[in-house]
Amino acid sequence: MPPKSSPKLNADEILKAEYGYISDTVFQANEDRSRVASFYFVTVGSLVAAILGSVFSTNDLKSVALAFAGLFAILTVLGALTLAQLARLRAAWHESAEAMNRIKEYYISLNKEIEPAFKWRAATLPPTDKPYSIANLMAGEVVFLSAITCAAAAYFLLLSLGDIVWWSWLLITAALLFGGFSLWLWYKHLLVDNQ
């Protein structure tokens, strides 16, 4: 009985399939980023609308202030988790784009005449943390809203403990600034490739 021959592999077909797969992962990362941000914005908007609706229907805001502080604290944590997802999805997009460029570089090394056809190459690929990119702008919106929810949590916590006086506004402003700054640093920390 003659030995079975192994199937002949076509390198071009394998590279085409790999490029197609990577292209799909790039597309999916962009789609997922959009969904994650939209979910967060709808969640925050819905909860804030519900809270504001109940604020106007109650006579004694202090009686529900602690519950509101907890809800706004949860919204702040949801914002941090949304930022983590946005950062990791941007990094996934960047890693996929780098993989696509590796295949491009391989074909360019074999066919120098196709080099002008590619705008994005290993050296020209936008960085993961490109200023004013859609990813950074979406993260900025989440940071902005989360900083507000952090300040709202501080407001309602202080209200549950007593009256809001002039120095309470200093603490609320500090919560707003500290919340926004620390959430932006959290996003930047997670916005790296190969984690």
Sign of CA dihedral 69, 72, 77, 78: positive
Q: What is the pLDDT of residue 116?
A: 80
Q: Residue with structure tokens 């809270």?
A: 51
- Confidence band (pLDDT; 50, 70, 90) for 11? low
Residue type, 111: N
Where exactly are the structural domains of the chain?
A: 11-190
More confident: 187 or 41: 187
Residue 74 has pLDDT above 80, yes or no: yes
Mean pLDDT across the chain: 82
pTM of the model: 0.77
Residue 162 C-alpha from the chain's centroid? 37
Residue 105 has pLDDT above 60, yes or no: yes
Q: What is the pLDDT of residue 45?
A: 81
Q: What percent of the chain has pLDDT over 90?
A: 28
Cα–Cα distance for residue pair 5/118, rounded to 1 Å = 39
Cα–Cα distance for residue pair 17/20, rounded to 1 Å = 5
Do residues 148 and 48 touch, judged by C-beta distance below 8 A?
A: no
More confident: 83 or 100: 83
Mean pLDDT of 104-113: 82
Cα–Cα distance for residue pair 145/89, rounded to 1 Å = 20
Reference 125, options 98, 96, 87; nearest CA is 98
Q: What is the pLDDT of residue 144?
A: 93
Q: What is the pLDDT of residue 108?
A: 81
Residue 193 has pLDDT above 80, yes or no: no
